Amino acid sequence: MALNLNRLSKIASGKKSVLNTEGKILDIELDKIKPDPNQPRKQFNDAELSELSASIQEYGLLQPIVVRANSDDTFTIISGERRFRASQLLQAKSIKAIVNTSIAAENISYAQMAENLKRSSLTVVEVADFICERISLGEKQVEIAEKLGLEKALVSKYSAWKEFPEEIQSALAEKKINSIQTAYILYKKWIEHPSEVESLLEGREFISKAEANNFNPQSCSGTTFSTESEDAADILPQEQNE
């Protein structure tokens, strides 16, 4: 089930879009701007940043970043960290920015999630970290599912991320596994047969959902794999991209 970006946009800024284009566009010094440590996106592709910086150098910054003002005369990025990083590569002194005051503090991370999903896919791990962080802050799974436009069952699988053993977490990070559903299937089997699942992960370069389903830790031969492809309707867009 795809993430509901329209729902995210409404949550992020009430009746306005995530990127609030109202107000003046300011030139803010780069050294007064800092990334948000709670930003859901943790990985930035160096090659993509280089391409973006080359585009900014040739055509200029076509869309301002969005920031919020801090009490110490600095600013924290709400959206546009890739543009900010690309401008840093160019050793720019300042960047065009809009100071946004319409997004409620508790919804900033959802606004950032929407921004990242629209512009560059998040990894399964980043989505899992985001959902687990929201749960640690006291949000219910049903609330997160509603805000992201996901089935609660899928959010429940993401919420188990912190309980996964290191081997399954590493397999997701290394993209041996490309969906949270596949990881969850292996996790449930790992609970009773940890060594068998760990051996499977160690010996395979990629494991699809169908293969995880067909894996029988109790069989003498270990497993019978199917050539059936993973159901595209059962994984998120960012998981398909991986």
pLDDT of res. 151 = 86
Name every residue whose Cβ is closer than 8 Å to that of residue 236 and which is 6 or more positions away in sequence. 1, 2, 3, 124, 127, 179
Return the pLDDT at 115: 63
Inside any domain, residue 116: no
**pLDDT for 14 beyond 70:** no
Shared-domain flag, residues 161 and 72: no
The verdict on 138 and 80 lying in the same domain is no
Mean pLDDT of 173-188: 93
Can you tell me the mean pLDDT for 137-149?
87
CA 166, 193, 213 angle in degrees (round to 5)?
90
Residue 233 lies in a domain: yes
| Confidence at residue 6, expressed as pLDDT on a 0 to 100 scale | 55
- Which of these three, 41, 71, 103, is where a domain ends? 103
Mean pLDDT of 225-236: 44
Same-domain status, 77 and 149 = no
Q: Are residues 97 and 152 in the same domain?
A: no
pLDDT at residue 184 in the model:
95
Do residue 171 and residue 85 come from a single domain? no
Q: Which of 57, 74, 103 is the last residue of a domain?
A: 103
Range of the domain at 90: 5-103
Residues 145 and 97 in one domain: no
Q: Following DSSP, what letter does each residue of the chain receive, concatenated? A: ----HHHHHHHHHTTS-SS---S--EEEEGGGEE--TT-S-----HHHHHHHHHHHHHH--SS-EEEEE-TTS-EEEEE-HHHHHHHHHTT-SEEEEEE--SS-GGGHHHHHHHHHHHHSPPPHHHHHHHHHHHHHTT--HHHHHHHHT--HHHHHHHHTGGGS-HHHHHHHHTTSS--HHHHHHHHHHHHH-HHHHHHHHHH-S---HHHHHHB-TTSTT-B----PPP-GGGS-HHHHH-
Say if residue 170 is in the same domain as residue 72: no
Instruction: Specify the CATH number for the domain of residue 90.
Output: 3.90.1530.10
Query: What pLDDT does 147 receive?
Result: 81
Same structural domain, 215 and 156: yes
- 226 has a pLDDT exceeding 60: no
State the pTM of this model. 0.54
Chain-centre distance for alpha carbon 168: 18
Is 108 domain-assigned? no
Q: Specify whether 64 is located in the same domain as 95.
A: yes
Residue 114 belongs to a domain = no
> Which among 124, 114, 117, 118 has a CA at the least distance from the CA of 230?
124
State the chain's mean pLDDT as an integer.
79
Residues 71 and 173 in one domain: no
Average pLDDT over residues 2-22: 47
User: Any idea which of 36-40, 73-77, 144-148 has the lowest mean pLDDT?
Assistant: 36-40
Checking if the pLDDT of 114 tops 60, the result is: yes
Distance CA 150, CA 82 (A): 26
Q: How far apart are CA 49 and CA 154, in angstroms?
A: 32
Residue 145 forms part of a structural domain: yes
| Number of domains, the chain | 2
Structural domain includes residue 112: no
**In-domain check, residue 69:** yes
Instruction: Tell me: do 24 and 78 sit in the same domain.
Output: yes
Angle (deg, nearest 10), helices 124-136 and 166-173: 130
Q: Report if residue 94 sits inside a domain.
A: yes
Q: Would the pLDDT of 39 be above 80?
A: no
